[in-house]
Amino acid sequence: MNKTIHQQMFQQMQSKQLFEQAKQYAYEYADDALERNVYPSSQALNNLQQLHEPLPLTTTSPAAIIEQLHHIGSPATVSQIAGRYFGLVNGGVIPVSLAAKWLSDFWDQNTPLYATSPINSTLESVTESWLNTLLGLPKSTVAGFVSGSSMAIMCGLSAARYRLFQNHNWDINTQGFQGAPRIRLIAGKQAHGTVVKAASLLGFGSDNIEWVDVDDQGRILIEQIPPLDSHCLLVLQAGNVNSGAFDDFSHICKAANEAGAWVHIDGAFGLWAAACQSLKHLTKGIEYAHSFSVDGHKTLNTPYDSGIILCTDKDALINALQANGSYIVYGEQRDGMLYTPEMSRRARVIELWSAIKYLGAQGIDDLVVALHHRAVQFADELKRAGFIILNNVVFNQVLVTIAEPIPTQDKPHILQQITQHIQQSGECWVGTSTWQNQPVIRISVCSWATTEEDITRSVSAFKDARAAVI
């Protein structure tokens, strides 16, 4: 008699052959990751067509599935874990953090309550305390562990919405928006697009955002901020997504507190500057804000996905996000779902905890300052090569354009061609953006694996692309 699928899966768990196969392929990928082309070749991309097949009607060999995934999938990945990916603000991956994720994948924990995963709950408590120490936040600050800063911004603005309405004797959870007092959402004109998305999803309405002018580095102009009061939610940036610039938190947050306004700081990659002695001046005054969004998978280099919402108003965050049900039994220990929108949620804190424990405060300092040094090196070498750097490189972002006299209407096309040439070379990967109404090449240095040689090699790719296009 043929074994049933049920019996087969028992055998697969016990024999470990399938996992050994996956481990071997993972090691093969790791051996090649640091030197392979950053972006997949044309052949690798064409091979993805093989995955477009009819739905299988019967079971497929597990070994064949893993083999196909490796031989077609591995070459078609973007090598973000190496040192020459500078596109989106994507960090690399710290080895111990990746190993911890492997182990926790076998645990396969669901993490809404202490009762569903005591280990996750404990590590969330520990990591929350460590984050407050690293970033210099009040000890009472609570953390929720979400998928990324997009969701963290949603959580922060949800807590703000709840508290601001409560301060005006309005329960937004039960009464909704019908007849509610007006809450004003204020942000700099270069706020990240996720702020606009959160405003839409939370019912503020993107058209109702009060936009404030910014300076030549993208920092919100203090004197242009409208008069604040207890109806206001102000969003600031710790790391402009293009220039990397930081708002003036000390002056703005103190004024907001005096007015009774709520301040959320979007610090997806930049908030980690607070953990670096030589760069923490950039985040001076953040302790006066009320909520913060930050990613582990960016500057800290944890595996994907790892977002964090930090909030100094525990009750506001819980009341904005808490779910109830007859089967949900909250306990005396930490129940993580109180601080996140999700109930079912993977144990992402495990790799975040492992990264912080491995690096320690000094290692995190070293990591953050190294990213800054590599960005400064990138800018300096590009300048010497005849490119123009458009921003002050205060953290890890570099904005580049060409010096050649090219008609304004032709520049977007030329820069796009140069960028595509760089990407297709496989030497490194950068993206494009718009800065001060002009097209630019945008560089984000976020991987621990980026070396001085990686930067010089990438600058050569810039020079080759310029020579090929112009």
pLDDT tens, position by position, 77-108? 999 988 999 999 999 999 999 999 999 999 99
Burial environment of residue 152 by CB neighbours within 10 A (0 to 12, 13 to 18, 19 or more): buried
Where is the domain boundary, 340, 358, 376? Answer: 358
> pLDDT tens-digit profile of 8-45?
999 999 999 999 999 999 999 999 888 889 999 999 99
Domain for residue 3, yes or no?
no
Boundary residue ending a domain (323, 342, 358)? 358
Residues 292 and 171 grouped into a single domain:
yes
Cα–Cα distances in Å, from 223 out to 184, 249, 258?
18, 14, 16
pLDDT of residue 112: 96
Q: Are residues 376 and 352 in the same domain?
A: no
Does residue 381 belong to any structural domain of this protein? yes
**Structurally, how many domains does the chain consist of?**
3
Upper half-sphere CA count for residue 299 (Cβ side, 13 Å): 32
107 and 29 both lie in a single domain: no
Q: What gap in Å lies between CA 22 and CA 71, rounded to an integer?
A: 12
pLDDT (tens digit per residue) in 260-287: 999 999 999 999 999 999 999 999 999 9
Q: Give me the phi and psi of 158, to 5 degrees please.
A: -65, -45
pLDDT tens string 125-153 = 999 999 999 999 999 999 999 999 999 99
Q: How confident is the model at residue 2, as a pLDDT? A: 58
Whether the pLDDT of residue 343 is over 60: the answer is: yes
Domain of residue 460, residue span? 360-469
In this prediction, residue 324 carries a pLDDT of 86
| Mean residue pLDDT across the chain | 96
User: What is the reported pLDDT for 16?
Assistant: 94
pLDDT (average), residues 54-74:
96
* Residues 374 and 321 grouped into a single domain: no
- Residue 159 within any structural domain of the chain: yes
The region of weakest confidence among 11-15, 256-260, 326-330, 334-338 is: 326-330
Asked whether residue 86 is assigned to any structural domain, the reply reads no
Together in a domain, 351 and 387: no
Q: Does a structural domain hold residue 84?
A: no
Contact 440, 240 (CB under 8 A): no
Of the chain, the percentage scoring pLDDT greater than 90 comes to: 93
Note whether residue 224 is domain-resident.
yes
Same domain, 348 and 398: no
Condensed to tens digits (0 to 9), the pLDDT of residues 426-441 reads 999 999 999 999 999 9
State which of 311, 343, 358 marks the end of a domain. Answer: 358
pLDDT digits (tens, 9 = 90+) for 295-308: 999 999 999 999 99
Domain containing residue 456: CATH number: 3.90.1150.170
Which pLDDT value is given to residue 165?
98
Same domain flag for 192 and 262: yes
pLDDT recorded at residue 404? 79
Q: Does residue 223 have a pLDDT over 70?
A: yes
Claim to verify: residue 126 and residue 240 sit in the same structural domain? yes
Least Cα distance to 131 among 264, 274, 253, 237 occurs for 274
Lowest mean pLDDT among 124-133, 370-379, 405-414: 405-414
Query: Is 90 within a domain?
Result: no
Q: Which of 200, 249, 194 is nearest to 225 (CA)?
A: 249
Asked whether residue 255 falls in the same domain as residue 390, the answer is: no
Which residues is 205 bridged to in the sheet? none
Packing angle, helices 452-469 and 349-384, rounded to 10: 50
- Give the whole-angstrom CA distance, residue 371 versus residue 447: 7
Residue 1 has pLDDT above 60, yes or no: no
pLDDT higher than threshold 60 for residue 410: yes
- 62 with 127, same domain: the answer is no
Position 87, amino acid: G
pLDDT tens by residue, 185-208:
999 999 999 999 999 999 999 999
C-alpha closest to that of 271 among 242, 300, 243, 250: 300
In a domain, 89, yes or no: no
Q: At residue 409, what are phi and psi to the nearest 5 degrees? A: -70, -20
Are residue 115 and residue 194 in the same domain, yes or no?
Answer: yes
Do residue 52 and residue 65 come from a single domain? yes
